[in-house]
Structure 1
Amino acid sequence: MALATSDAAYFRRSSLLWFTVIPVSFGYYTWVVLWPQSIPYQSLGPLGSFTQYLIDHHHTLLHNGFWLAWLIHVGESLYAMVLCRSKGITDSRTQLLWFLQTFLLGIASLSILIAYRPKHQKRT
């Protein structure tokens, strides 16, 4: 039995909440690590005070964590490609969507793909 077209092109967008929270957080993290001198700490209230404390006392940890987070997102994206193939998602556009969404959102996207159970399995 061949895979159904819907299985080959299965894609589900993550929630709007994750599309907001994760990129904004990652953007702020990028700003903190790469341009800490430009952050208006006093205007950010408790977040600004906490951020300034982290920069003053844990800059190396922040810097290393930043690059580790990028590396993890790349790894999750590559794993999403492996999962696509193993679940019969063969449409190249759909695979690209999974790769990009997982790169941006990490586990918030990957968990959707992990939970997906194809209706039809390939017979070999």
Structure 2
Amino acid sequence: MATAAGETAYFQRGSLFWFTVITLSFVYYTWVVFWPQSIPYQSLGPLGLFTQYLVDHHQTLIQNGYWLAWLIHVGESLYALVLCKSEGITNGRAQLLWFMQTLLFGIASLSILIAYRAKRQKQI
């Protein structure tokens, strides 16, 4: 399948809204996993109370969930590389950008690449 020169280097940055939500969530989750004693639970309202309950009663689940989330992001980023190759995105920089963006932001990035694939398949 022949691709246009621009398609071999296709990359699209994701939504700033979702990247902000995901970044803040992962920062908070990291804080909960590694420094739970420093969290001002009472100042965070219902989120703080829920977090304190989880820390007090389900610490192992929180820690395992944290590493599972990172593992899922690694899997998604590897899948993004597979999609790049199958869609003719051969530019190394574009592939690296897809890999890094998907590693950090998961499905918020991967969904863009999947939508690109679906759009290209409809054109064929």
TM over 0.5: yes
User: Between the two proteins, what is the percent identity of the paired residues?
Assistant: 74
TM-score, normalised to structure 2's length? Answer: 0.91
Name the amino acid aligned to 2:51.
T
Considering fraction of residues, name the structure with more helix. 2
Name the amino acid aligned to 1:44.
L
In the TM superposition, residue 2 of structure 1 has moved relative to its aligned partner by 3.6
**Bigger mean CA deviation after superposition, 78-87 or 36-45:** 36-45
In the TM superposition, residue 44 of structure 1 has moved relative to its aligned partner by 1.0
- SS of equivalent residue, structure 1 residue 67: helix
What is aligned with 1:39?
Answer: 39
Name the amino acid aligned to 2:111.
S
- Take 1:3 and 1:112, find their aligned partners in 2: how far apart are those partners? 19
TM-align CA RMSD: 1.6
What is aligned with 2:87?
Answer: 87
TM-score, normalised to structure 1's length? Answer: 0.91
In the TM superposition, residue 60 of structure 1 has moved relative to its aligned partner by 0.8
Once the two structures are superposed, residues 69-107 of structure 1 have per-residue CA deviations (whole angstroms, 9 ceiling, x without a partner) of 000000100110010000000111111110111011101
- Take 2:80 and 2:29, find their aligned partners in 1: how far apart are those partners? 24
In the TM superposition, residue 3 of structure 1 has moved relative to its aligned partner by 1.8
Any stretches of 5+ residues in structure 1 without a counterpart? none
CA contact (8 A) 2:9 2:90 kept: yes
5 Å-filtered alignment, 1:49-60, equals 49-60=49-60
Name the amino acid aligned to 1:71.
L
Once the two structures are superposed, residues 4-57 of structure 1 have per-residue CA deviations (whole angstroms, 9 ceiling, x without a partner) of 111101111111111100011011001001110111111111111110001011
The number of aligned residues is: 121
- Take 1:34 and 1:54, find their aligned partners in 2: how far apart are those partners? 14
- Take 1:46 and 1:102, find their aligned partners in 2: how far apart are those partners? 30
